[in-house]
Structure 1
Amino acid sequence: MNRIKEVLEQKGIKQTWLAEKLGKSYNMVNAYAQNRQQPRLETLMEIAEILDIDVKELIISNKPEQESK
């Protein structure tokens, strides 16, 4: 699962803009944003670079957060 949609909303960026920057179709970017399809790692890294964020901010962890003692 990814957080592409949430990050785009936080930054006020449209999916069409991201699609243009990535050189991908709007439908493909929309599939990523809706979590219908997951981007390849290379694409995820490119999205993070375009959005100027750490790639980890685009990923939803599969492990629950551990409480610090």
Structure 2
Amino acid sequence: MMAKRKTKSTKPILNRIKEVLEEQGKTQTWLAEKLDKDFVTVTRYVNNHRQPSIETIFEIAKILKVNPRDLINS
């Protein structure tokens, strides 16, 4: 019997938070502190394992001083 191979999930990248943080030289820890959210929650947003609410997108945009549209992958 052959073992099943695990295939890597091809989840779509829905937000650009990670890219914007990298462009600005900011860390996930820094963003978690500014949002007053748990580091794990922010990591899930950054890695597109979970999507932030619209309200949180606007809050992140304000903190990073970008247009909310810059955080959404279109």
TM-score normalised to the size of structure 2?
0.82
Whether 2:30 is the aligned partner of 1:17: answer yes
Instruction: Count the aligned residue pairs.
Output: 61
- CA-based RMSD: 0.3
Percent of aligned positions with the same letter in both sequences? Answer: 54
- Separation of aligned partners in 2, 1:36 and 1:14: 18
Matched to 1:38, the amino acid is: Q
- Separation of aligned partners in 2, 1:30 and 1:10: 17
- In structure 2, the gaps of 5 or more residues are 1-13
TM-score normalised to the size of structure 1?
0.87
- In structure 1, the gaps of 5 or more residues are 62-69
State the 4+ residue runs in structure 1 displaced beyond 4 angstroms: none
- Separation of aligned partners in 1, 2:60 and 2:16: 11
